[in-house]
Amino acid sequence: MAKKRACKKSSGKELGKFAAELARKSIRHFLETQEIMKIGEKGIPFAELKESKGCFVTLTINRELRGCIGNIEPHGKVYEAIIRNAVLAAFRDDRFNPLSQEEFSIIKIEISVLTTPTKLEFSSPDDLISKLGHEMGVIIAKGGRGATFLPQVWEDIPEKEEFLSQLCMKAGLGPDEWKKPGLKVETYRVEAYTE
């Protein structure tokens, strides 16, 4: 009878280090081959990375954004999303040129694994402001447009009104759209892993 190899259950340093290394390896592999790296589930030692959750990969150089791609809803296992989103953040984020070999050596990688978004009920703009917290990722939607900011964005935009205005503009809406009726808001939390 074959023995089953147990998966580690950890949300600490080991998992974060493995996730960041997986993202970096996938970017390096794409730089060298122009192909998405393939890895079997057996090569993933952490149970958390085999779950189906939303996931973003953010690249920075000297603390400045260099690429960020992700999915709010699960698209496969977390480890698959890390591989795919790392490559997309490095080479397909249309705000930036594709990552160069020189930049590869200086990028910092952060992986954000999302909880399932939940609807935020609010009765007025002031009520919305009172219910937001800096630990929340926020999704807005109105009129077929939508956008999200990860919780880490609060570090750069700590004022709630400005945060919502910037998020509305990211969605292609007017900056005061969050003050008007009809805006749908969801929130989520993340487990973030940084190199």
- Domain residue extents for the chain: 13-114, 118-189
Q: Using an 8 Å Cβ cutoff, are 25 and 57 in contact? A: no
Percent of the chain with pLDDT over 70: 94
The mean predicted confidence, pLDDT, of the chain is 92
Averaged pLDDT, 82-109: 97
Average pLDDT over residues 70-83: 95
Tell me which residue has tokens 């008007």.
Answer: 180
How many other C-beta atoms can be found within 10 angstroms of the C-beta atom of residue 67?
A: 28
pLDDT tens digits for 3-13? 333 334 455 78
Query: Which CATH class, in words, describes the domain spanning 118-189?
Result: alpha beta
User: What CATH superfamily is the domain 13-114?
Assistant: Hypothetical protein ph0010; domain 1 (3.30.700.20)
- Averaged pLDDT, 132-158: 96
Residues 6+ apart with CB under 8 A from 165: 175, 176, 178
Say what the pTM is.
Answer: 0.85
